[in-house]
Chains A and B, each alone.
Chain A
């Protein structure tokens, strides 16, 4: 059951919305608005990944590859075919969902972290394909001249794009809350505590996990196409690689597993930090690794729940209480 928002929550929500809406006018510098666009794009991925990690209890170490599939689908369709960018966006979402279904179907039937292994390998394969399949992907030189998105005849510049991206963040957020408070979402939260008990209630564990995995890949595909139309160039690089898959995991853990709001906070902090660390080269991995460690040790429930249970955003019960049950599961059915 969706809980009704308290007045305090409504005020907080309105304040956040107003701040986000006013941001382009407040900062007045296109670079910062651009950073906010990337934060939004990453937040869409992190929201999906948070559903997978926080609720289905599965880790994907290759989510950047789904961003790549979305980005390349959008890029190829809009630079080489007359397909409209909006249709290409749908195609990007559809293709990344389909690929996720193919990977997830065998991996999620098995217990344990087979999905993490499968996605790890999958991410590497996608990166090889990007570089080697020159005829389609442009190989190392990538694809250029990806058109900007247009809405009602107007090309979306950075400021307008910012609003589009954050509107889609809001939609993703809404879909996630819907899911978590539904029949399927309850099944998902239940199986996270005890797969045995959930299964004996009639929950199809593998199917439910697969559905969430596909949803998370669909959101990554959407984010990928948004990325392609914003940067107007795709090529092998950071955003599609293993390193970024790990950054996405850091965003989710930093914000707090099973904290949908946390995914946005995590995406914000990690993305902005990533900008600062541009100069550090490959050492950014060290910093993110350190953050992951510190958060896991000192704030295992993530920054949003850990730093302030006073935040009026808690709409979902903490998942951590299920631990004792899970230990029992490990012993015997």
Chain B
């Protein structure tokens, strides 16, 4: 049995009177792709926000790479090896494409404030190495030719890819992708699927939220299904597709708009 990239124990989040995440426990094994699905309002993005430290959990614990991560601020969880993308892309619009990736690289750097201000040799050589490394991450998503363009000059689909490259630049052990296929064309989705598979094969574990069932079932080794903040099923895609509670959860809801 492979070691755990992530382990959540009785994770709980309450907003006022609403139980958004109700004592969910699950593990993500290292290597491969796991999907987190469920109808709108099931609590998927809330789980992501809990795991990345943006929301404090109401209860429960979670471990990233075997280390307790709950209660830590986002930047410390990032340094434990958890990276994420956002449903509504959050690029740094005042910076170039490669600079965005270099912010993702931030946690791997050592040069501090003083060596930055004084531009000491250590900071300079680190910067050069960072840029080279980030260009490789850009090459992986096919954006290396746009390195010095403004990040927001990219078309939407490429902005999503840039966000993935930025997340990868921190060399995470676990990558959370929040609806990476939303708003993409069929062709872009196929490219994305190929990319996610390559990321998984490259040793980064992926936990993915998406509404595109074809993509989810095609990509993931395991699927976790949430409904109204509760875990209703977990298992390989084939099993999930036949699960009665899952079918009921999806059919019982309004047909949902993607995104």
The size of the chain A interface, using a CB distance under 8 A, is 39
In the bound complex, do residue A179 and residue B94 qualify as a contact, i.e. CB atoms below 8 Å apart? no
In the bound complex, do residue A201 and residue B104 qualify as a contact, i.e. CB atoms below 8 Å apart? yes
Chain A hits for B93, CB < 8 A = 193, 321-322, 324-325
The size of the chain B interface, using a CB distance under 8 A, is 47
Interface residues in A186-202 by Cβ distance below 8 A to B read 186-187, 189-190, 192-194, 196-202
Footprint of B on A, CB under 8 Å? 1, 175, 178-179, 182-187, 189-190, 192-194, 196-205, 211, 215, 258, 317-322, 324-325, 328-329, 333
Complex Cα–Cα for A27 and B158 (A): 56
Rounded to whole Å, the gap between the CB of A110 and the closest CB of chain B is 13
Chain B hits for A178, CB < 8 A = 116-119
In the bound complex, do residue A200 and residue B83 qualify as a contact, i.e. CB atoms below 8 Å apart? yes
In the bound complex, do residue A182 and residue B123 qualify as a contact, i.e. CB atoms below 8 Å apart? yes
Complex Cα–Cα for A319 and B150 (A): 11
Complex Cα–Cα for A325 and B52 (A): 19
B74-90 CB mask vs A (1 if < 8 Å, else 0) is 11001100011010101
In the bound complex, do residue B123 and residue A183 qualify as a contact, i.e. CB atoms below 8 Å apart? yes
In the bound complex, do residue B92 and residue A211 qualify as a contact, i.e. CB atoms below 8 Å apart? no
In the bound complex, do residue B83 and residue A190 qualify as a contact, i.e. CB atoms below 8 Å apart? no
In the bound complex, do residue B95 and residue A202 qualify as a contact, i.e. CB atoms below 8 Å apart? no
Within 8 Å of chain A (Cβ to Cβ): is B102? Answer: yes
Chain B hits for A322, CB < 8 A = 92-94
In the bound complex, do residue B78 and residue A200 qualify as a contact, i.e. CB atoms below 8 Å apart? yes
Chain A hits for B113, CB < 8 A = 179, 184, 211, 215
Stretch at the interface among B27-35, B124-132, B180-188, B220-228: B124-132
Complex Cα–Cα for A175 and B119 (A): 8
Would you list 28 pairs from A and B whose C-beta atoms are within 8 A, ordered by A residue? A1-B99, A178-B116, A178-B117, A178-B118, A182-B111, A183-B106, A186-B106, A193-B91, A193-B92, A194-B92, A197-B86, A197-B91, A199-B73, A199-B74, A200-B52, A200-B78, A200-B83, A201-B170, A202-B106, A202-B170, A203-B103, A211-B113, A215-B117, A258-B94, A317-B150, A318-B94, A320-B94, A322-B93
Complex Cα–Cα for A182 and B105 (A): 12
In the bound complex, do residue A190 and residue B116 qualify as a contact, i.e. CB atoms below 8 Å apart? no
In the bound complex, do residue A199 and residue B94 qualify as a contact, i.e. CB atoms below 8 Å apart? no
Residue pairs across A and B with CB atoms within 8 Å: the count is 131
Chain B hits for A196, CB < 8 A = 54, 74, 86, 90
Rounded to whole Å, the gap between the CB of A320 and the closest CB of chain B is 8
Chain A hits for B52, CB < 8 A = 200
Complex Cα–Cα for A324 and B111 (A): 31
B122-156 CB mask vs A (1 if < 8 Å, else 0) is 01001100110000000000000000001010000
B47-71 CB mask vs A (1 if < 8 Å, else 0) is 0010011110000000000000000
Complex Cα–Cα for A197 and B100 (A): 10
In the bound complex, do residue B116 and residue A185 qualify as a contact, i.e. CB atoms below 8 Å apart? yes
Complex Cα–Cα for A239 and B82 (A): 49
In the bound complex, do residue A179 and residue B117 qualify as a contact, i.e. CB atoms below 8 Å apart? yes
Complex Cα–Cα for A200 and B175 (A): 11
Closest B residue, CB atoms, query A331? B88
Within 8 Å of chain A (Cβ to Cβ): is B96? Answer: yes
In the bound complex, do residue A317 and residue B90 qualify as a contact, i.e. CB atoms below 8 Å apart? no
Within 8 Å of chain A (Cβ to Cβ): is B3? Answer: no
In the bound complex, do residue A317 and residue B88 qualify as a contact, i.e. CB atoms below 8 Å apart? no
In the bound complex, do residue B94 and residue A183 qualify as a contact, i.e. CB atoms below 8 Å apart? no
Q: Which of A1, A197, A198 contacts B127 (CB 8 A)?
A: A1
Extra A-B contacts (13), CB below 8 Å, given A199-B54, A317-B150: A183-B106, A186-B95, A187-B103, A187-B106, A193-B95, A199-B75, A200-B78, A200-B83, A203-B75, A215-B117, A320-B94, A322-B93, A333-B54
